Amino acid sequence: MTTADIEQFWAAARNRKFCLQQCLDCGWWNHPPMPRCRSCRSNQLAWQPVSGKGTVESFTETSVRLLGFGAQSLVFVRVHLREQFGLVHVGRFTHAEDIAPRRELAVVACFDESVDGTTLVNFRPVPVADS
């Protein structure tokens, strides 16, 4: 996997789309991306948009102290994505307001800008009616 290959993930994120590599021969979601499909070894792969919906499998919380900003809590979640059994993605848990992270919490991908201007794919909780 080259930098040019993974660039398609970041280009999609800049356009506020969550795209993953999918095998055009067998349909397997090949994530993290690889030059060949993990399921059938095909090299016929394409970047496809995914729902971004999933459930929290696990999470971790850490506190960092940034000069001039004081202590900040960062929560990262490992999310099972709906598209395929075993398909997971890790991102920050953001836009949660007063909802605490927990296992099995329904989340959806969201997009946040980092300090260097990179658009990150993160996750936010979704209301029960939307999950």
Angle at 117 between CA 111 and CA 120, to 5 degrees: 30
Stretch that binds Zn ion, among 10-18, 24-32, 62-70, 111-119 (CB under 5 A): 24-32
Stretch that binds Zn ion, among 30-38, 55-63, 95-103, 118-126 (CB under 5 A): 30-38
Q: Which is nearer to Zn ion, 28 or 111 (CB)?
A: 28
Q: Which is nearer to Zn ion, 11 or 24 (CB)?
A: 24
Q: Does 23 bind Zn ion (CB under 5 A)?
A: yes
Stretch that binds Zn ion, among 8-16, 38-46, 56-64, 97-105 (CB under 5 A): 38-46
Bridge partners (DSSP) listed for residue 83? none
- Cα–Cα dist 51/130, whole Å: 12
- Cα–Cα dist 73/78, whole Å: 17
Q: Is the dihedral of CA 90, 94, 95, 96 positive or negative?
A: positive
- The site map against Zn ion for 39-78 (x = CB under 5 A) is xx-x------------------------------------
Bridge partners (DSSP) listed for residue 15? none
Angle at 83 between CA 102 and CA 62, to 5 degrees: 30
Residues forming the site for Zn ion (CB under 5 A):
23, 25-26, 28, 37, 39-40, 42
